[in-house]
């Protein structure tokens, strides 16, 4: 399986994602934002960080990078594109995913473990996953998902919600919503389910010595599904 | 502008210092030159009041690659790897403008580390605020935390540990000390010593603006009523540019183009160029028209004194200009050849084809003033007399709750949750433990780091206090299973021109020197911040110590959370029930006098090294050093972290319960050992002549202090965690 991780100026989880993908068997390549063509890929990842310093709006300037034309084409052709944290922000700014990510409800950066519940397993990211509730890690200032009434209706009608913030038993309630996200949304798909954006960082949960191992489960399952 | 004595005084120079400048130059300096002298000779850059005493600190050791005098200290951690680290203050700017002050403090210290070729792998901070009731405290705390997070999070460097305290002596002068650790290969360390003639001098990074002019001078003076007017002296940070600068510098450093590199920190282009010339015993010639400027019509004076952030000065190998330029272009950073090295041993500046400064480098550095200031010794205070009859009226449970929610003891999660502490994927011990721990990427090794200070002890008796913080740092590293390697210090004091403040400085330095020499825990870098003073009132002496240690196999790391029911708890080190200057005495008895606890360096070393032996044999399931608040506070934290309880045993010697639980005797650790290992573990302790007592055993859910006193873990958690978020919300 071949993957590509795009490095934008200000990306800072690109190395972490590279380490994670390689650990679970991907042949990963790092791709510079100013490049025009994507290498042969089964998965393209937009990593976390502060692309362009979050200036203007998070993800907005990166979404106009040269390489994004190829990413858009790749996604429109059904290619798997995953955006984590700032990568999710870039995906909504590029129009591949609906909605926006606002500043966290309490106006503070949050770095902690959270539980998320997988909502839709009928896709290559979560299919056959033995887990329903993952313990993932979040680290963001703008993860408060929001969209119009019409958009959320469409998102629900198409089962586009990928992950909800929940408690450890998978109950989705206000207490488990860390940032004020609409309907506790932690991650969404596009209509075709080949593009996934999510705020949590599975790449930080791939070793028992780190915050946990649910990221390992996610990546192992992902590579199996893509094979 | 006419330069005269009054103008020199307005620049923060003394009359006799101005006379010395005229004597050294054999003429009156022009305005640009006066600015340069004032920047180089202020306290912040010249260490003129501290150098005399700092030279006595132990700075050598078998693992030390680079001691004080460079951008940061460097120590060997084996396998060709080295750690570059340093702590630095940004106190004055953070009080004036908390967000930018703190942010640029973090940016500055990271630059010091990557200037040496190291990728930053961890940040720490030590921050101190006025009384929680003081009207400015809440906003300053919020601003500083946002600033530290804003910069460090964007850089993608985890903030793994820190320390926060509140004390009314910081009401008018908060402290913000930032520390960074970086990882480098031993053969790829970069220094600031220029070499070779006619080598190109390169300016890279952000453009130069008018921000931060006189920042270093501002940080070398006390505050008065006109503090708001100082705002323009605070620099404005751009972590995005710094991230690009980091990546670009590391990319250039991978090759062999760089002869010397120095970041532009305090006193900007002035100190960086002079530093490189001085170390290389060379001259530097700069054409100031070539310096990339952000604003129009900047004068040579402004260009030289600007403290705009995210800038570096590099001496390149001749012929490597194109290679270097290509890399900085790729990262969208300014790149300009602004001058060259010369044999003149002078700093020569040109602007609009005119020579605007011509100063021999040695007059600025070697001939800078050094003072052996007058200082007053602090007498050891008399022991306090406590009426123990009073103890009978106190309920242990109430005292425990009160101390657990004391602002200086309570959980600081509200703070560190705003710092990205897991980016880079190697943080194996998060904030909230005895020390933060990060793995050395893709190896089995890990580095532990802790930052500590004890202003109360240092204020009560600076010599003992100075020793105590070094020991505390040592214990924090031991508690996570790390072998202590070296320290960096940030010495925060009042005015050196006040004999008492100067005395506090001298004796704290003496104390920390003694302890670090004895423990073979050398000082490899540091920073002095004087004039933490508003009008005549200085802060309590607050030296902060950043210690680092090595864990050879990260799987042997120890944490403080209790692990298993029925395991036995030992307190290692002797408990005599020392209450003077303890939290109990100050908070519950309102008794603020008395000497701080004594330090026995032999016991410190022996106890610590023996604990490491036990950890090596995997006998220790959890460990925590005993510090503020005594045994019961240390135990409560272990319970809270592990969500387990403890059943305390009665001590097997005669000691008052209050003294036993709340005494702050030094050199102690609490360790958890499973029953099967107990005999072998205690034998090692006995063989090494280490005193220990059995404290009790682990249970499922209550801290059971005696027959009448039981506290549930939930109650402990509530007392410990609620204070800070409630305070910030109201």
pLDDT digits (tens, 9 = 90+) for A149-208: 999 999 999 999 999 999 999 999 999 999 999 999 999 999 999 999 999 999 999 999
Contacts of B99 (CB under 8 A, 6+ apart): B143, B144, B146, B147, B150
Tell me the C-alpha distance between B39 and B347, whole Å: 14
**CB-based contact (8 Å) between A106 and chain B?**
no
Work out the mean pLDDT of chain B and round it to a whole number: 95
Residues 116-175 of A with CB under 8 A from B: 137, 139, 141
The C-alpha of B157 sits at a distance from chain A's nearest C-alpha, in angstroms, of: 8
Taking a C-beta distance cutoff of 8 angstroms, is the pair B88, B112 a contact?
yes
Is residue B218 predicted with pLDDT exceeding 70?
Answer: no
Contacts of B567 (CB under 8 A, 6+ apart): B621, B672, B673, B674, B675, B697, B698
The C-alpha of B427 sits at a distance from chain A's nearest C-alpha, in angstroms, of: 6
Region of poorest pLDDT, from B65-74, B384-393, B656-665:
B384-393
Rounded mean pLDDT of B183-199? Answer: 96
Tell me the C-alpha distance between B453 and B532, whole Å: 16
Mutation target vs B (from A111, A114, A138, A216; most B CBs, 10 A cutoff): A111
**CB-based contact (8 Å) between B153 and chain A?**
yes
ipTM of the complex: 0.97
Is residue B267 predicted with pLDDT exceeding 90?
Answer: no
Give how far Cα B87 sits from Cα of B63, B554, B706, Å: 19, 25, 44
Tell me the C-alpha distance between B591 and B460, whole Å: 12
A135 a catalytic residue: no
Considering only the beta carbons, identify the residue of B156, B417, B427 that sits closest to A12. B156
**CB-based contact (8 Å) between B554 and chain A?**
yes
Q: What is the CA radius of gyration of chain B?
A: 26
The C-alpha of A84 sits at a distance from chain B's nearest C-alpha, in angstroms, of: 13
Please tell me the predicted confidence (pLDDT) of residue B216: 64
- A110 CB neighbours in chain B (<8 A) are 417-418
Taking a C-beta distance cutoff of 8 angstroms, is the pair B512, B560 a contact?
no
- B154 CB neighbours in chain A (<8 A) are 10, 12, 50, 53-54
End-to-end CA distance of chain A: 7
**CB-based contact (8 Å) between B559 and chain A?**
no
The C-alpha of B580 sits at a distance from chain A's nearest C-alpha, in angstroms, of: 39
- B433 CB neighbours in chain A (<8 A) are none
Q: What percent of chain B has pLDDT over 70?
A: 98
Which residue in A13, A85, A140, A147 is the catalytic one? Answer: A85
Is residue B397 predicted with pLDDT exceeding 70?
Answer: yes
Tell me the C-alpha distance between B104 and B237, whole Å: 5
The C-alpha of A40 sits at a distance from chain B's nearest C-alpha, in angstroms, of: 24
B425 with A19: Cβ contact below 8 A: yes
Q: Scanning every residue of chain A, which has its alpha carbon at the shortest distance from the alpha carbon of B553?
A: A209
Of B120, B115, B116, the residue nearest B153 (C-alpha): B120
A139 with B420: Cβ contact below 8 A: yes
Confidence of residue B164 (pLDDT cuts 50, 70, 90): very high
Please tell me the predicted confidence (pLDDT) of residue B226: 72
| B674: exposed, middle or buried (Cβ count in 10 Å: 0-12, 13-18, 19+) | middle
What CATH number is attached to the domain comprising A183? 3.40.50.880
Q: What is the pLDDT of residues B599-637, one digit of tens each?
A: 999 999 999 999 999 999 999 999 999 999 999 999 999
Number of domain units in chain A: 1
A210 with B422: Cβ contact below 8 A: yes
- A52 CB neighbours in chain B (<8 A) are 240
Confidence of residue B1 (pLDDT cuts 50, 70, 90): confident
Of B366, B616, B591, the residue nearest B460 (C-alpha): B591
**CB-based contact (8 Å) between A69 and chain B?**
no
Domain range for A159: 2-226
Residues 620-639 of B with CB under 8 A from A: none
Beta strands, E only, A8-132: 27-32, 43-46, 80-84, 100-102, 110-118
**CB-based contact (8 Å) between B439 and chain A?**
yes
B422 with A15: Cβ contact below 8 A: no
Q: What is the pLDDT of residues A78-128, one digit of tens each?
A: 999 999 999 999 999 999 999 999 999 989 999 999 999 999 999 999 998
The C-alpha of B156 sits at a distance from chain A's nearest C-alpha, in angstroms, of: 5
Is residue B231 predicted with pLDDT exceeding 70?
Answer: no
Strand B692-699's sheet: what is its strand order? Answer: B620-625, B669-673, B568-572, B692-699, B645-648, B702-706, B709-712
Please give the helix or strand (H or E) that residue A23 lies within, else none: helix A14-23
**CB-based contact (8 Å) between A56 and chain B?**
no
Which residue is it, tokens 């006390």? B222
**CB-based contact (8 Å) between B429 and chain A?**
no
Confidence of residue B228 (pLDDT cuts 50, 70, 90): low
B240 with A206: Cβ contact below 8 A: no
Rounded mean pLDDT of B99-117? Answer: 97
Please tell me the predicted confidence (pLDDT) of residue B525: 97
Rounded mean pLDDT of B276-291? Answer: 97
| Interface size between A and B, measured as CB pairs under 8 A | 86
Q: What is the CA radius of gyration of chain A?
A: 16
């Amino acid at each position: 399986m071949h993957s590509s991780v795009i490095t934008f100026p200000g990306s800072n989880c690109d190395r972490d994602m590279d380490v994670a993908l390689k650990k679970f068997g991907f042949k990963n390549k790092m791709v510079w934002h100013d490049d025009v063509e994507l290498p042969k890929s089964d998965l393209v990842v937009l990593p976390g960080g502060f692309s362009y310093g979050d200036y203007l709006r998070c993800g907005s300037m990166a979404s106009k990078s040269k390489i994004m034309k190829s990413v858009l084409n790749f996604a429109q052709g059904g290619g798997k594109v995953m955006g984590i944290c700032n990568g999710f922000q870039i995906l909504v700014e590029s129009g591949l995913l609906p909605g926006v990510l606002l500043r966290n409800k309490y106006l503070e950066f949050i770095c902690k473990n959270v539980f998320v519940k997988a909502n839709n397993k009928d896709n290559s990211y979560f299919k056959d996953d033995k887990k329903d509730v993952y313990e993932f890690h979040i680290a963001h200032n703008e993860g408060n998902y929001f969209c119009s009434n019409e958009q959320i209706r469409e998102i629900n009608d198409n089962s586009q919600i990928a992950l909800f913030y929940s408690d450890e038993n998978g109950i989705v309630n206000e207490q488990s919503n860390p940032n004020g996200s609409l309907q506790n949304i932690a991650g969404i798909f596009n209509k075709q389910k080949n593009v996934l954006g999510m705020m949590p960082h599975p790449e930080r949960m791939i070793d028992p010595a780190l915050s946990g191992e649910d990221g390992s489960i996610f990546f192992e399952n992902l590579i199996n599904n893509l094979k | 502008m006419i330069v005269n004595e009054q103008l020199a005084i307005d620049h923060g120079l003394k009359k006799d210092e101005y006379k010395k400048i005229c004597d050294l130059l054999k003429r009156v300096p022009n305005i640009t030159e006066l600015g340069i002298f004032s920047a180089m000779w202020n306290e912040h850059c010249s260490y003129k009041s501290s150098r005399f005493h700092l030279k006595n600190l132990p700075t050598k050791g078998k693992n030390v690659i680079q001691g004080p005098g460079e951008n940061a200290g460097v120590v060997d951690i084996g396998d060709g790897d080295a750690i570059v680290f340093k702590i630095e203050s940004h106190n004055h700017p953070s009080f004036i403008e908390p967000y930018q002050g703190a942010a640029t403090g973090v940016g500055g210290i990271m630059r010091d580390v990557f200037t040496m070729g190291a990728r930053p792998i961890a940040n720490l901070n030590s921050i101190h605020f006025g009384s929680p009731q003081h009207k400015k405290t809440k906003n300053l705390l919020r601003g500083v935390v946002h600033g530290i997070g804003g910069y460090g999070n964007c850089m993608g460097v985890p903030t793994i540990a820190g320390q926060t305290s509140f004390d009314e002596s910081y009401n008018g002068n908060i402290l913000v000390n930032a520390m960074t650790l970086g990882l480098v290969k031993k053969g790829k360390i970069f220094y600031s010593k220029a070499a070779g003639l006619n080598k190109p001098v390169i300016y890279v990074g952000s453009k130069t603006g008018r921000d931060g002019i006189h920042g270093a001078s501002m940080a070398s003076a006390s505050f008065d009523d006109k503090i708001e007017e100082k705002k323009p002296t605070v620099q404005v940070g751009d972590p995005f540019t710094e991230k690009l600068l980091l990546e670009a510098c590391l990319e250039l450093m991978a090759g062999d183009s760089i002869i010397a590199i120095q970041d532009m920190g305090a006193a900007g282009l002035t100190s960086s160029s002079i530093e490189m010339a001085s170390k290389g015993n060379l001259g530097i010639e700069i054409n100031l028209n070539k310096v990339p400027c952000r604003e129009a019509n900047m004068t040579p004076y402004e260009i030289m004194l600007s403290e705009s952030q995210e800038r570096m000065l590099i001496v390149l190998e001749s012929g490597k200009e194109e290679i270097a330029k290509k890399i900085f272009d790729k990262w969208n950073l300014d790149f300009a050849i602004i001058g060259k090295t010369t044999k003149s041993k002078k700093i020569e500046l040109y602007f609009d084809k005119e020579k605007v400064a011509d100063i021999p480098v040695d007059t600025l550095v070697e001939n800078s003033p050094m003072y052996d200031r007058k200082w007053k010794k602090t007498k050891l205070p008399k022991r306090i007399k406590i009426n123990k009859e009073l103890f009978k009226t106190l309920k242990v449970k109430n005292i425990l709750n009160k101390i657990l929610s004391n602002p200086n003891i309570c959980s600081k999660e509200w703070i560190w949750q705003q710092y990205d502490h897991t980016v880079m994927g190697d943080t194996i011990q998060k904030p909230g433990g005895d020390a933060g721990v990060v793995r050395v990427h893709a190896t089995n090794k890990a580095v532990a780091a802790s930052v500590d200070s004890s202003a109360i002890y240092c204020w009560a008796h600076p010599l003992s206090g100075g020793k105590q913080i070094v020991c505390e740092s040592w214990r924090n590293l031991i508690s996570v299973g790390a072998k202590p390697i070296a320290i960096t210090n940030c010495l925060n004091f009042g005015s050196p021109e006040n004999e008492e403040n100067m005395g506090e400085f001298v004796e704290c330095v003496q104390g920390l020197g003694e302890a670090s020499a004895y423990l073979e825990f050398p000082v490899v870098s540091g920073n002095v911040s004087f004039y933490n003073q508003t009008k005549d009132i200085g802060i309590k002496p607050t030296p902060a110590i950043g210690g680092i240690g090595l864990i050879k196999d990260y799987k042997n790391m120890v944490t403080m959370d209790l692990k298993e029911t029925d395991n036995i708890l030992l307190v290692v080190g002797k408990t005599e029930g020392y209450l003077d200057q303890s939290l109990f005495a100050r908070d519950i008895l309102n008794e603020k006098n008395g000497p701080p606890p004594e330090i026995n360096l032999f016991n410190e070393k022996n106890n610590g090294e023996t604990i490491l032996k036990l950890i090596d044999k995997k006998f220790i399931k959890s460990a925590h050093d005993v510090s503020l608040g005594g045994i019961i506070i240390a135990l409560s934290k272990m319970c809270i972290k592990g969500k387990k309880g403890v059943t305390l045993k009665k001590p097997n010697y005669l000691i008052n319960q209050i003294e036993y639980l709340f005494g702050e005797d030094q050199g102690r650790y609490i360790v958890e050992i499973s029953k099967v290992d107990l005999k072998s573990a205690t034998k090692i302790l006995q063989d090494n002549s280490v005193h220990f007592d059995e404290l009790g055993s682990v249970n499922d859910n209550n801290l059971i202090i005696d027959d009448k006193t039981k506290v549930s873990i939930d109650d402990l958690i509530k007392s410990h965690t609620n204070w800070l978020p409630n305070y910030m919300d109201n």
